[in-house]
Structure 1
């Protein structure tokens, strides 16, 4: 089974450009929970997943799953510039995740405050980025796609490791202001929640517009545009079947073969790469984040 859709599968919100480029000296107005910062300082297992640049390959799938929720899709469609700056959402999500795992206490406070401030502005008559149910779904996609892709390449976690990683991903969810009681208590509860959500998601025209803005965007650098055909195949095959079809992606024998061969080659070659290469995106985005925080100081 190629999509992330059941317990049998191996298992930031956006920091807008506006928020990352706040004028120097402008105060961040939303307080940060200090107990949360304390908890985020001591992850034990999530490092091994988050450090891998491989996770970027699942970025488009995670975004499409997020916007398959109509409330998320409206927020992104109305408040983002995904056509003009198609990489911004991926960039800001990765900055957020890397900061929560690797950042200093001060950096985590700054980035969480930025996220909260941006979310406070993203609202309309029938949606709000502060809706805890939408925040729960966004955080769920980061866990589901990230751990699924990691295990497809590196192998399954043992039970103890899997539980620790799940608990530590819960901290990422809570740092997005997901109420702790909304985050499923166990992995079994999580996949029950996941399957239920996937059955009720509705891919709207907003979501399809966003998917085209990401996977067919002519504003992307040439090197990225060159691999978009493969990215479309890999992204589509990662999605649950019903969601894939609602986005208008057709699965064929050839596309499924391309997906399996690409995954197989990645499984053989990627772990053999030097760690300095595999972890380059982490260093790149952390440097980007620190540059913006320094500008705001």
Structure 2
């Protein structure tokens, strides 16, 4: 159980908008679990509405991390409603999947944590042990607010690192994962005008945050020059980001919570039969 002091440690970490740079890597790691990849490929709106799906995930994570009890409950109901039809039996080539699979939900939550720690330490330097342990425990509700439980979630950074290494070794990037990844990281008519210019740096940062084996399985070509470019970008970000006003650094979190509160107020006034 996380206490109030640890909650504040986690919130100081989780409120930093720079962590959104890891969103693409976290999604690709999630898809490297064949259960998740099949569910996303067959039921997600990534291809038609990529930003809607990304914002939905973001709003859930911020609501659980920073919202009050009512906001958390609303976010959980919304996610469970979207997940209800996401299930299928195994076939000859693909595993069964269900969006209510507790282990798969735990894996999704762990990818957010694993990538966030890498990014935090690239921007701010190594986390000390008590802070890292608090951050690990702080991510647990992302999974257990749905169907995953606290059982099996690491209690310390050391436990997480061991568990994470074991899970990474079992990943399998299949055709469905690569197909969704191409949609996510390629220019699409569904993306807002002007975003094409952002995709090359997004692809490069995303690739840099993946473990080498996973990166290669997705078909990223990684060279010493690419590594130098990314290292230079992170050096610049780490010099500038901590100097920005908190209002700027925390802007994505505040915008997400405003969206969630507006939806919550609107839902609270809907006729019961329309919920």
Establish whether TM, by shorter chain, passes 0.5: yes
Distance 1:175 1:41 in 2: 20
Aligned counterparts, 1:88-107, within 5 A = 88-107=52-71
Give yes or no for the alignment of 1:235 onto 2:199.
no
Please name the residue that 2:140 is paired with. Answer: 170
Please name the residue that 2:157 is paired with. Answer: 187
Instruction: Indicate how the Cα distance of structure 1 residues 40 and 103 shifts in structure 2: closer, same or farther if over 3 A, else same.
Output: farther
Residue 120 (structure 1) shift? 2.7
Residue 203 (structure 1) shift? 0.6
Residue 90 (structure 1) shift? 2.1
Please name the residue that 1:123 is paired with. Answer: 87
Distance 2:146 2:24 in 1: 20
1:231-279, Cα deviation, whole Å (9 max, x unpaired): 1111011101111111110101221111111111101111111111111
Please name the residue that 2:233 is paired with. Answer: 262
Aligned counterparts, 1:52-91, within 5 A = 52-91=16-55
Q: Report the TM-score when normalising by structure 1.
A: 0.83
CA contact (8 A) 1:83 1:217 kept: no
Distance 2:60 2:3 in 1: 16
Aligned counterparts, 1:1-297, within 5 A = 43-125=7-89, 126-218=96-188, 219-297=190-268
Instruction: Indicate how the Cα distance of structure 1 residues 40 and 120 shifts in structure 2: closer, same or farther if over 3 A, else same.
Output: farther
Distance 2:194 2:241 in 1: 20
**Unaligned runs of at least 5 residues, structure 2:** 90-95, 269-275
1:75-111, Cα deviation, whole Å (9 max, x unpaired): 1111111122112332112101111122121111111
**Secondary structure at 2:179 match in 1:** helix
Distance 1:131 1:186 in 2: 24
Residue 39 (structure 1) shift? 7.9
CA contact (8 A) 1:40 1:171 kept: no
Q: Report the TM-score when normalising by structure 2.
A: 0.89
CA contact (8 A) 1:139 1:173 kept: yes
1:31-65, Cα deviation, whole Å (9 max, x unpaired): xxxxx9x9899822111111111011110000000
CA contact (8 A) 2:137 2:154 kept: no
**Unaligned runs of at least 5 residues, structure 1:** 1-35
Tell me the number of residue pairs that the alignment of Structure 1 and Structure 2 aligns. 261
Distance 2:52 2:14 in 1: 19
CA RMSD for the aligned pairs?
A: 2.0
**Secondary structure at 2:7 match in 1:** coil
Please name the residue that 2:92 is paired with. Answer: none
CA contact (8 A) 1:173 1:183 kept: no
Distance 1:113 1:206 in 2: 28
Of 127-136 and 182-191, more deviation after overlay is shown by 182-191
